[in-house]
């Protein structure tokens, strides 16, 4: 997800696909031990739409 997020608007679809997988793997923000990774993931997601 991180890689696609920084590749620009042409990669929004791929970024979203891998974002969905990452959210699921990171417990959808409800797993305390993944809190930092979850916040980092949201930061990457914001770059997708810049």
Chain segment 3-49, per-residue pLDDT in tens: 898 888 899 999 999 988 988 888 888 888 988 888 888 888 888 88
Predicted local distance difference test score (pLDDT) of residue 17 = 93
Q: How far is CA 4 from CA 16, 32, 33, 48, in A?
A: 9, 26, 25, 8
Q: Which of 2, 29, 26 is nearest to 14 (CA)?
A: 2
23 vs 44: CA distance, rounded Å:
12
Question: Quick one: pLDDT at residue 22?
Answer: 86
Question: Cα dist. 2→5, 11, 36 in Å?
Answer: 5, 11, 15
């Amino acid at each position: 997800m991180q890689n696609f997020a920084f590749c620009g608007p042409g990669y929004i679809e791929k970024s979203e696909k891998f974002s969905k997988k990452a959210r699921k793997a990171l417990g959808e923000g409800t797993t305390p031990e993944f809190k930092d990774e979850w916040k980092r993931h949201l930061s990457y997601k914001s770059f997708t739409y810049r």
